[in-house]
Structure 1
Amino acid sequence: MIEISPPDRRVLAHWFPTGSPGPATIGEHVLATGIGRWWADQPVQPSMVAVSCAGHVVLRGSPQKLTPGVLAPLAGNRVEAPAPFLPALGAAFDRLTPWERMIWTLQCEPRPVIVPRTVTVRRLEPADADAVDALGPDASWLSAGWGGPRGLSMSGHAWGAVGRGGRILAVTCTFFRGSRYEDVAVYAVPDRRDHRLALACVASLCADIRARGRTPGWNCSVHNRAGRLLAWTAGFRLVREYVHYAAGSPVSRERLSA
């Protein structure tokens, strides 16, 4: 695939139906923020288009003219694609691992939570960028869709539980922002995960999303028990399930031609 310029919203709606929770928000997020990349099999009248951001790819179109080598730029990502693409994806990468996912939307009020007096739950500001960065590599995925810690802190779409000295103990943000739904992501430092600070942050962010006229969404692995419990406690309820695929390294040219 080759990288292409961002499409306008009419073209986006043709390839990626908008206004629904889950993977559909990725194209809208990339178009709105400019963070991410667009791909196609050819620059004019493509038969397939992909959008990638923060390690996630949504692939749409027709695989009829597809050869495995075309998909090589999507290596290392988690790819959501219709079933007809699976044979080509399987041939293009040395491994293709299915991940069962769950999509939730906010439908109930969150359970109340008491925040310790030493902690403030608030919207993150540009001055919090260093504190976000200090969360380390384990939390780097959280800000990837905003261009990194500084972009996340400046986005206006992140809330944190901030302790004394400005240390962030838990943070939640809009991971992908769609026109009707905003996917919520959350991270809590390992030594504070039993203090329910993540729930307090999620509740504040969800109120913020609702004030913008959108509905909070939640996307997690079927096997992420802690994520599912937090989603339920915060008022989210299951809408549907789907599968995306972790793509490994591209298959070598020698193997493709063998």
Structure 2
Amino acid sequence: MIELSPDQLPALSPWFASDYPGAKTPAEHALASGAGRWWADRAIDPRALAVACADHLLLRGEPTALAPIALAPFAAHHVQAPARFLPLLGSAFDLLVPWERMAYVHRVPMSPPRPPHGVTVRRLTPADVAALTELAADMAWVHASWGGPTGLAASGHGWAAFQKDRILAVACTYFRGTTFEDIACVTVPEHRRRRLALACVTALCQDIAARGHTPSWTCSRDNRPSRLLAWTAGFRLEHEYVHYLTGQPARRVAGLIA
């Protein structure tokens, strides 16, 4: 595939007709934030389009326009694609794991709970880059869609619970679209069950609503803590879908790369 520059990008509407949560929000975010990358089978009148942001990949168009080797760079990605892409994905990777997902929309406005003594919940600012950088490695995914701590801190789209200069929990717009803003949230393990995530999420939801957008939430069907937090924060189930976790390039694809 050919990587497209910003001035080569096609109009999104024909490619992403659905407007349910998660359908096109990552593509809109990749376009607006500059943190994503775009590929097509050809620069003029493309037949297939790929959009990657963080470790998420959207595929649209005609899969027969692509060879399996074209997808090799997208190992270990979460792929959203129509069912017609499954044979191509199955040929491209040695593993393709379906992942049932649940998409929620914010329906019940909530007031942020009062944080515990000594904890402040506030919007992230550019001065908080160091605090975001100090999050444990397994929590760093929360700022990946903004290109890293600097991007999230400067975005104005994150809220965090602080104890002095340390972040205990953070909620942010992970993908910002023209209709929905999909939320991500993490909490330092030893500070869970203190309603810190709930305080951050509800403050962020008020922010999103003030921008004229709708907060959304997507998570794995098996992620009960995430589903419970979403419900408590006023989200209600909108629809269910499946995305796929890719493994490594299939042996014959890897041989062509080598």
TM-score normalised to structure 1 length: 0.94
Residue equivalent to 1:12? 12
User: Counterpart amino acid of 1:250?
Assistant: P
Q: Is residue 196 of structure 2 the alignment partner of residue 201 of structure 1?
A: no
Deviations 1:45-100 (A, max 9, x none): 22110100010011000113332122212222111100011011011101011111
Q: Please tell me whether the aligned partners of residues 112 and 203 of structure 2 are also in contact (alpha carbons under 8 angstroms).
A: no
Structure 1 residue runs without a partner (length 5+): none
Q: Please tell me whether the aligned partners of residues 38 and 50 of structure 1 are also in contact (alpha carbons under 8 angstroms).
A: yes
Residue equivalent to 1:188? 187
Q: Please tell me whether the aligned partners of residues 106 and 215 of structure 2 are also in contact (alpha carbons under 8 angstroms).
A: yes
CA distance in 2, matches of 1:102, 1:223: 9
Query: Structure 1 residues 7 and 49 mapped into 2: Cα distance closer, same or farther (>3 Å)?
Result: farther
Across the aligned residues of Structure 1 and Structure 2, the Cα RMSD in angstroms comes to 1.8
Structure 2 residue runs without a partner (length 5+): none
CA distance in 2, matches of 1:34, 1:14: 21
CA distance in 2, matches of 1:253, 1:18: 35
Q: Is residue 174 of structure 2 the alignment partner of residue 136 of structure 1?
A: no
User: Counterpart amino acid of 1:245?
Assistant: Y
CA distance in 1, matches of 2:69, 2:132: 38
TM-score normalised to structure 2 length: 0.94
Counting matched residue pairs gives 256
Q: Is residue 50 of structure 2 the alignment partner of residue 43 of structure 1?
A: no
User: Counterpart amino acid of 1:239?
Assistant: E
Residue equivalent to 2:56? 56
Q: Please tell me whether the aligned partners of residues 37 and 53 of structure 2 are also in contact (alpha carbons under 8 angstroms).
A: yes
* Percentage of identical aligned residues: 54
Q: Please tell me whether the aligned partners of residues 121 and 159 of structure 1 are also in contact (alpha carbons under 8 angstroms).
A: yes
Q: Please tell me whether the aligned partners of residues 159 and 172 of structure 1 are also in contact (alpha carbons under 8 angstroms).
A: yes
1:20 Cα offset (Å): 3.7
CA distance in 2, matches of 1:190, 1:53: 26
Residue equivalent to 1:78? 78
1:9 Cα offset (Å): 7.8
Residue equivalent to 2:102? 102
1:221 Cα offset (Å): 0.4
Q: Which secondary structure state, in structure 2, belongs to the residue aligned with residue 89 of structure 1? A: helix
Q: Please tell me whether the aligned partners of residues 19 and 179 of structure 1 are also in contact (alpha carbons under 8 angstroms).
A: no
User: Counterpart amino acid of 2:187?
Assistant: A
